[in-house]
Homo-oligomer: A and B are copies of this chain.
Amino acid sequence: MSYKNFPMVPRVIFGRGSFNQLSEILAPKRLSIHAPFIFLVDDVFKGNAWLTSRIPLSYEDKIVFVSTIKEPTTIQVDDLVEDIILTTKALPSGIIGIGGGSVLDLAKAVSIMLTNEGEAKDYQGWDLVKNEAIYHVGIPTISGTGAEVSRTTVLIGPEKKLGINSDFTPFDQVILDSELTKDVPTDQWFYTGMDCYIHCIESLTGTYLNTFSETYGNMALELCKEVFLENNLTKTESEEKLMMASWHGGMSIAYSQVGVAHAMSYALAFLLGVKHGIGNCIVFDHLEEFYPEGVTLFKAMKQQHNITLPQGICANLSDADFDKMISITLNLVPLWENALGKNWKTIITPKKLKELYQKM
C-alpha cells in the first residue's frame, strides 16, 4: 500500500487585520521591477476602497477584477494567462487571489499555466502539471469551500468539470483574515459554509477515511455546528471559526474524498451553471438515504437561517440533458467509491440518478 505524500501550504498567517501585512509578505518575493504582482480580485470588491486601497501596488503591479457570477472555466484561465503574457514585460513575481473559491481556484490555475505549455483543459486531472507554478498567494474573502488549502483548482472545461490536481497547485502563502468576510450576504455565507459542512460529512462517512483526515474532519464539523446551530458566538467569533472550519475541512479531504453530493452537483454545474455552494446544498437536501444524520442536521441549519433553496431546477431538462448529467457524474469514480465502497455500481444506476435529479 502506498500513501499520498501530501503538500501543505508552507506559510500561513492568521488574524483579524492580517491583510495589512500583505505588502511586507510580498516585498521579498519581487523578482524585478518588470515582474509585477497580479492581484486577481473578486469584482464584488470593485469600488470598495476599504479593501482595494490596502492592496499594495508598485511598479507595474495590477489589479484584475474577476466576475464570479459563473463557475470558473478553463477558457477564463487561458484568457487571463494570455492577457498577463501580452501586457507584462516579464513573468509575474506572483499571482495573488483575493476572493472566494472561484477566484482562489483561478489564481492557482493561472499561476500554473504561466509556466506550463498548452491550455488549462490539458491539465484537468491528476498530476499532469510538469513545472512549478509562479509564486501564488491565497486570501479568502468567504469561508467554507477550502480552496485556500487544497491541492486542486476546480474548473469547468469543454468536456468536464474537474480540478487541476497537483503538488504545484497549493498556495505558497495563505492569509486568513476573517475581517474580509464581514460583508458576505447571508445566502452566500450559508451555501459556502455548507460546502464545508458537506465536505466533513462526505469525508467522515467515506470508505477512504483515515485518522489524519478524521481528526481534521471532526474539528471542522464541530466548528460548523457552533457557527450554524448554536447561537452564542459574536459576529467576529463566528467569522473566525468558519474560516478555520474551511481550512480544516479542506485538510480533511487531503487523504479522503468527497462523495455523493459533490459527484451529483458537479454535473449540475457543468450543464446548468449552478454554482458550487448552492449546487451542493440543492443535492444534499435530497440525500437522506446516503447521509441520514448529516441531512437531518443540514435541514435544521437551513431552517434556523431561513434559507429557501431553489426547487425544480431540473424540471425542464430533456432526456438528453439527464443522460449527459448522469454520464458526467458516473465518471467521478473516486467520489462514488469513497461514498459507497467498491461495489457502488450496484447502488448507483442511471435510473437511480435520474430519479434523484428529478426531485431537484
Contacts and interface: CB of A to CB of B under 8 A. Distances in A.
Interface of A: 1-15, 17-18, 21, 25, 173, 176, 178, 210-212, 215-216, 218-219, 222-223, 237, 240-241, 243-244, 248, 255
A222 B7 CA distance: 26
Q: Which 6 pairs, one residue from A and one from B, show the smallest C-beta to C-beta distance?
A: A3-B15, A211-B240, A14-B212, A10-B10, A219-B219, A5-B13
Contacts of A9: 8, 10
A56 to B, nearest CB: 15
A25 B6 CA distance: 12
A299 to B, nearest CB: 26
A100 to B, nearest CB: 20
How many copies, total? Answer: 2
Nearest to A216: B219
A287 B59 CA distance: 57
Nearest to A241: B211
A106 B7 CA distance: 24
A11 to B, nearest CB: 6
Contacts of A210: 14-15, 240
22 contacts: A1-B15, A3-B14, A3-B15, A3-B17, A5-B12, A5-B13, A6-B12, A6-B13, A7-B10, A8-B8, A8-B9, A8-B12, A10-B10, A14-B255, A15-B212, A176-B212, A210-B240, A211-B243, A211-B244, A215-B241, A218-B219, A219-B219
B8 A11 contact: yes
Contacts of A10: 7-10
A234 to B, nearest CB: 12
A48 to B, nearest CB: 22
Nearest to A245: B215
Given A14-B210, A14-B212, 13 more contacts: A3-B13, A3-B14, A3-B15, A3-B21, A4-B13, A5-B12, A5-B25, A6-B14, A7-B11, A211-B240, A211-B243, A211-B244, A215-B241
Contacts of A178: 211
Nearest to A9: B8
A240 B214 CA distance: 11
B17 A1 contact: yes
Contacts of A237: 211
A46 to B, nearest CB: 27
Nearest to A219: B219
Contacts of A219: 215-216, 218-219
Contacts of A17: 1, 3
Given A176-B212, A210-B14, A21 B8 contact: no
